[in-house]
Amino acid sequence: MPSTFTDSDAVETRALTKRYPSSTAVRELDLSVPEGSVYGFLGPNGAGKTTTMRMLTGLLDPTSGEGHVAGASIRDRRALAGVVGYLPETPPLYDELTGREQLDYVADLRDVGPDADARIDSLVERFDLAGDAGKRIEAYSKGMRQKTAFVQTVLHDPDVVFLDEPTSGLDPRAARTLREEIRNLTDDGTTVFLSTHVLPVVEELADVVGVLSDGRLVAEGTPNGLKNRVESDSDETLEDVFLDVTSGHGGRFGR
């Protein structure tokens, strides 16, 4: 069967669905995320965001439907591993390793090559982790863990980076550094798939926002486009849009 996927989209899904015995987490999801853009993926708790990202990163098999990420089928884990980076809500870190050992280990695992040391040095410096790189991760604060986890996610220069609540636990300075790093990634052509409940972060960074509710995409557009979809005396905020489209009453904003 000929593929209907286009070359310019970094993430594409068609009718992507995940069913569990007692519920359907993701329903017939169609996504198209252009290369080099930031896609803000919003939705209430339990909407299906993590399930979607786990399918797009090869950690979970879809029940039906299909998808490609940077040209790799989401059913081809080996191909996906080279092109995606995933920062999950609870990042996989080894408490017994030092920060530096953790990053060296991941660089090795991901086959980063001869530039690994320089790349780690620069990212560790950028996130103000250099002074603590020799300490064991068990002694790290939540923010230090989160920063280390972000660095390990982007170490192999993936084509598409999936971030689940990346600013969680970060102080304002670190959160700003992270937002700048996300911008730097897209300047280099990387695509960022960003799931967060922090709406100002989405508003600042996202080129396009998709809102998931009960496993379905209920709204999609630029942050300004979504806000301006209804005429209103007061300024509509992204939070108003979010609350409206996820209210369960259909909302004023159709897709």
* 3-class secondary-structure state, position 22: coil
Binding part of the chain for ligand ATP, among 17-25, 29-37, 139-147, 171-179 by CB under 6 A, reads 17-25
Q: Which is nearer to ligand ATP, 2 or 21 (CB)?
A: 21
Using CB under 6 A as the binding criterion, the count of chain residues that bind ligand ATP stands at: 11
Query: Which residues, listed in sequence order, are joined to residue 131 by a DSSP beta bridge?
Result: none
218 near ligand ATP (CB under 6 A): no
Q: Which is nearer to ligand ATP, 47 or 151 (CB)?
A: 47
Binding part of the chain for ligand ATP, among 39-47, 67-75, 112-120, 178-186 by CB under 6 A, reads 39-47
Q: Which is nearer to ligand ATP, 179 or 216 (CB)?
A: 216
Distances (CA, A) of 58 to 69, 72, 83, 158, 254: 10, 10, 11, 14, 30
| Binding residue (CB under 6 A) for ligand ATP from 12, 16, 42, 43 | 43
190 near ligand ATP (CB under 6 A): no
CB 103 within 8 A of CB 87: no
Binding part of the chain for ligand ATP, among 41-49, 64-72, 123-131, 230-238 by CB under 6 A, reads 41-49
CB 65 within 8 A of CB 26: no
Binding part of the chain for ligand ATP, among 44-52, 90-98, 112-120, 152-160 by CB under 6 A, reads 44-52
Q: Given the DSSP bridges, would you call strands 64-69 and 38-42 parallel, antiparallel or unpaired? A: unpaired
Binding part of the chain for ligand ATP, among 47-55, 122-130, 137-145, 239-247 by CB under 6 A, reads 47-55
Q: Which is nearer to ligand ATP, 46 or 225 (CB)?
A: 46
- How far is the C-alpha of 104 from the C-alpha of 143, rounded, in Å? 20
- How far is the C-alpha of 177 from the C-alpha of 155, rounded, in Å? 16
Q: Which is nearer to ligand ATP, 18 or 156 (CB)?
A: 18
Rounded to the nearest 5 percent, the helix, strand and coil shares of the chain are 35, 25, 40
Among candidate residues 249, 225, 248, 247, the one with its CA nearest the CA of residue 236: 225
Residue 78 phi/psi, 5-degree rounding, is -65, -45
46 near ligand ATP (CB under 6 A): yes
Distances (CA, A) of 152 to 24, 55, 77, 207: 32, 20, 19, 25
Q: Which is nearer to ligand ATP, 61 or 115 (CB)?
A: 61
25 near ligand ATP (CB under 6 A): yes
201 near ligand ATP (CB under 6 A): no
Residue 63 phi/psi, 5-degree rounding, is -75, -40
| Binding residue (CB under 6 A) for ligand ATP from 47, 72, 81, 83 | 47
List of residues contacting ligand ATP (CB under 6 A): 20, 23, 25, 43, 45-51
